[in-house]
Structure 1
Amino acid sequence: MSVKTTVNISGMHCGHCVASVTEELRELDGVTGVDVTLNKDGVSVATITSVAELDPEQIGAAIAEAGYAVAAGG
């Protein structure tokens, strides 16, 4: 069974931003896929596929490690 988690991310502006966030999220235990939709003028969205529910704090920490922040509602 796979679980999809959607997270809103602020501060992303380019492909490098997407690559950084994707790399950090893929390092979380149980993550099998990451798809980031870039919205350089607003809030970007990451959809994380994993084998089990992920800890929101770990997701936030991974996004912060990449240099970005979870946006309101995410």
Structure 2
Amino acid sequence: RRRLRTTNSVERLNEEIRRRERVIRIFPNRASVLRLLGALLMEMDEKWATGHRYLDMQEYWVWRASKASVVKQLA
């Protein structure tokens, strides 16, 4: 849910579907469409799961804990 703040990701997914659909043009049956969409969604899920994080919260929590311990020592 955190990644769906804007519709950019949804629009990007729709563009990817359209781009791949243009290559194939005519699908022989419904199952082939579902296979294509399933493969595309699995690919996108892999990218999201293993993708680069812009902000690693672990570093922030370590910094915050060290700051809290310094404040306790001063008090």
Greater RCO (Cα-Cα under 8 Å, separation 6 or more): 1
TM-score (norm 2): 0.35
Name whichever structure is richer in strand by fraction. Answer: 1
Question: Whose Rg is larger?
Answer: 2
TM-score (norm 1): 0.35
